[in-house]
Amino acid sequence: MAARKKVGILTGGGDCPGLNAVIRAVAKKLIIEKNMDVVGIKDGYDGLVRNEYTKLSYRDVSGILTLGGTILGTSNIANPYRYAINKGGRLQLKDVSKSVVRQIKKMRLAGLVCIGGDGTLAIANRMFKDGVPIVGVPKTIDNDIMGTDITFGFNSAVTIATEGIDRVHTTAQAHHRIMIVELMGRTAGWIALHAGVAGGGDIILLPEIPYLPAAIAAEVKKRHTRGSRFSIIVVAEGAKPRGGNVVVQRMVKESTIQARLGGVGLMLGEQLEKMTGLETRTVVMGHLQRGGSPTAFDRVLATELGTRAADMVEREEFGQMVGVQRGQLVSVALEDVACGSKTVPLDHPLLQSARSIGTCFGDEG
């Protein structure tokens, strides 16, 4: 009797609603339909470096569909090609990829499903080129992965952000304030655009459209003179003034993405108070957007992506990511995924719709 094939699963990068739903879908299909064993790699690529993994049974992945986070753990720092090692109090970045590839071969994995964002999938592409049989699944609240129209986790983040904007509305109206809500998204404005429109943001600031503080102040004053004594400003963490730079909260040298953005809302709030004379408050949604149970939409999408990834492993369609294009599941080469981030095009229909109803994007005075 031939030995049962063994497939590994890892979750890399930041946590995201829907990760457990994908793990569940991949594992259940491989166990039920493909008669394969499933191994969960702990803490993303760190588990491959440290040789930490566990066998996943059907029972292990039952009941996790609605859970946030990831039962496997994750890391947005671990990278086999520049792995951080502390020697004598000094941080050194070392290429340990060869030992990781040897470990994967020693584990006799018939395939490795990597669930992650652009950083995780870029690493997956390099590992595939080094001989690892990899299938990718696109995960990020930012919706910025090339080759797919949407990622699981995005809908959940937009829903949470919209609820936050809704709640800010009441205090803004009561106190006649400018309320700024800062959202995640790094260098892509997908969350801010969708949540800003859904939450009725008066001004939406995106990384793709450098803003003019004077234009924002003029819009606030115009609203005030028309009787709207409050303004809601939704700003993406990667938004920047025209001719200026993004606000970096801190740098993480050992991370694949070293700049941690954050603080643009507070900076803008100080500017607008001086320019308008109106009281301004800033709310930073931060990691609230990553937490909690995934929406029904993301549970369904995660299940579809996970089961397709299992099929791709069986068919040995390695070096590919399962994506969504025009409502259909497709296979996309990891090499194409790793070539950059997907940002909001300036002719996007939602952007045009928002402008047509008077939404200001800070680029016109």
Set 37, 46, 118, 142: catalytic member:
142
Tokens standing for residue 22: 């994908």
**Single-letter residue type at 109:** L
**Single-letter residue type at 252:** V
Nearest 5°: the CA angle 167, 169, 171 is 85
Query: How far, in Å, CA of 257 to CA of 240, rounded?
Result: 18
**Single-letter residue type at 360:** C
SS3 content of the chain, % helix, strand, coil (to 5): 35, 25, 40
As a three-state string, the secondary structure of 278-315 is CCEEEEECHHHHCCCCCCHHHHHHHHHHHHHHHHHHHC
Tokens standing for residue 209: 């459209």
Tokens 């996970």 belong to 306
**Single-letter residue type at 300:** V
Under 8 Å CB-to-CB from 148, ≥6 apart: which residues?
138, 321, 323, 324, 325, 332
CB-based contact 57:337 (threshold 8 Å)? no
**Single-letter residue type at 137:** V
Q: Give the strands of the sheet with 109-116, arranged side by side.
A: 53-56, 37-41, 6-11, 109-116, 134-138, 320-325, 328-333
Exposed/middle/buried for residue 181 (C-beta within 10 Å: 0-12, 13-18, 19+): buried
The DSSP secondary structure of 176-214, one letter per residue, reads T-EEEEEE--TT--HHHHHHHHHTT-SEEE-TTS-B-HH
Which contacts (CB < 8 Å, 24+ apart) does range 337-340 have?
Answer: 337/118, 337/121, 337/122, 337/125, 337/136, 337/138, 337/145, 337/146, 337/147, 338/118, 338/121, 338/122, 338/125, 338/146, 339/146, 340/118, 340/146
311 is catalytic: no
Q: Please give the positions annotated as active site.
A: 142
